[in-house]
Amino acid sequence: MPKIIEGTLQSTGLRFAVVASRFNHFVVERLVDGALDGLRRTGTRDEDITVLRTPGGFEIPALARMAVESGHYDGVICVGAVIRGGTPHFDFIAAEVTKGIAQVAMSSPIPVVYGVITTDTIEQAIERAGTKAGNKGYDAAMTAVELCNLYRQLGQPGTTAGATAGAKV
């Protein structure tokens, strides 16, 4: 039987940054609320959560990197909404935000989670921010909590969780 290691959905004592864009505020605010709800439900105290606002989605990766490098957080949750308009701007922004967050996540000693929705219509965005399709901010928070606990079990150096756990695989 192989050894199976997976994270739990318990966030007591963990600290999170939620990096959120202000552009498309009416959708993003629902994603932020979903992320906060998820963190609170798993045990994170409000004083252990910081919401960092960017002007738009394009700036999310840079601020996420700063949050990682600050050493203040166990996980970073990125949320935003890029909605297709009548120009190719959507394609450029959606691709660069996605690539940027991926680059930060790949080089980060702590979990950096992608919770940016990219949709063709406002209706689709609203569906993904708390109606028919659930809340992608909540989903991103659950992913961050689980990954923080998984990193802790793996004894990831450079994270407050890993530094205190000392777990061996």
For the annotated catalytic residues, the residue numbers are 89
Q: What are phi and psi of 18, to 5 degrees?
A: -110, 110
Q: Where are the beta strands (DSSP E) in 84-167?
A: 112-119
Q: How far is CA 103 from CA 114, 119, 157, in A?
A: 11, 22, 19
Residue whose token pair is 């009416």: 26
**How far is Cα 62 from Cα 67, in angstroms, rounded to an integer?**
9
Pairing of strands 49-54, 112-119: unpaired
**How far is Cα 23 from Cα 16, in angstroms, rounded to an integer?**
22
Sheet with 49-54: strands ordered across: 49-54, 16-21, 75-83, 112-119
